[in-house]
């Protein structure tokens, strides 16, 4: 069995790390590269940097961020935000990113996943899914979670896998920033129906939440932001606790 991964996520806006609740009420959390270096030194397995307004504002994720991160860190990292073409991905990978995350552009043009997987390999392609539960159905949202679509989350995750996604990053908008725990039920279902790794995001607030998402939901990785940014849980402490409870972490 592959070891479970702990992944700090850094939402970036105007060059700064920010964090909010339910995708709103953003507050500053520091320089993304400095934070990333801290997490790398503490034992994070990977990092995710998301330019959260790139798509909404019709901008491209800055390749300079990838360049800075690559020069200061020695663990794998993913960059996402505003990626919509082979050329976008090529620039980021050439500047040091290990993977890219696509979200809105893939929803609008699903063939993009096929193209990217064929060009760069599935191992580089993470399809991020922001979804909100509406009337007992999980609806995919785009543009930083601001626009609902007609896509149902589980159907879309399966399609993304079939088109060549290497991983799915599922963020529950209902749980994001609340620190009340991950969306365990939907995560368990997603992990059961997919054969590619699932990264759980949205709602982490305690060590127990990570234990639950690995033990019950069977997620491959747990991603969190504010609990790491504001030093509520240390990565070494988290990993030691999980190991003591039988979770195979790196």
List the catalytic residues: 11, 130
Long-range CB contacts (within 8 A, 24+) of 181-185: 181/205, 181/206, 181/209, 181/212, 182/209, 182/212, 182/213, 182/217, 182/219, 182/222, 183/133, 184/212, 184/213, 184/216, 184/217
Alpha helices in the chain (DSSP H): 32-42, 63-72, 86-94, 104-108, 111-120, 153-163, 184-193, 207-215, 226-229, 235-244
- What Rg, from alpha-carbon coordinates, does the chain have? 16
Q: Which residues of 208-236 are buried (b: 16+ CB within 10 A; e: fewer)?
A: ebbbbbbeebebbbbbbbbbbbeeebebe
**How far, CA to CA in Å, does 165 sit from each of 125, 126, 135, 186?**
5, 6, 28, 19
Name the nearest CA neighbour of 224 among 198, 245, 191, 200. 200
């Amino acid at each position: 069995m592959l070891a479970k991964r702990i992944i700090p996520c850094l939402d970036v806006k105007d060059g700064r790390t920010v964090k909010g609740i339910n995708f709103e009420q953003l507050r500053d959390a520091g320089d993304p590269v400095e934070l990333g270096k801290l997490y790398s030194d503490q034992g994070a397995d990977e990092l995710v940097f998301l330019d959260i307004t790139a798509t909404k504002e019709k901008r491209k994720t800055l390749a300079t961020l990838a360049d800075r991160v690559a020069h200061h860190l020695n663990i794998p990292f993913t960059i996402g935000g505003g990626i919509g073409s082979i050329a976008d991905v090529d620039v980021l990978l050439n500047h040091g990113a290990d993977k890219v995350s696509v979200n809105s552009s893939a929803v609008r043009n699903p063939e993009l996943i096929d193209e990217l997987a064929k060009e760069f390999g599935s191992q580089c392609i993470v399809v991020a899914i922001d979804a909100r539960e509406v009337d007992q159905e999980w609806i995919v949202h785009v543009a930083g979670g601001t626009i609902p679509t007609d896509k149902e989350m589980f159907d879309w995750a399966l399609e993304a896998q079939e088109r060549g996604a290497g991983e799915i990053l599922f963020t529950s908008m209902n749980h994001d920033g609340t620190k009340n725990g991950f969306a365990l039920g939907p995560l368990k279902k997603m992990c059961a129906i997919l054969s590619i790794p699932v990264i759980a995001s949205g709602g982490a607030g305690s060590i127990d939440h990570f234990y639950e998402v690995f033990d019950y939901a069977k997620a491959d990785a747990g991603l969190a932001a504010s609990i790491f940014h504001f030093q509520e849980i240390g990565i070494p402490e988290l990993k030691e606790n999980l190991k003591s409870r039988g979770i195979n972490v790196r």
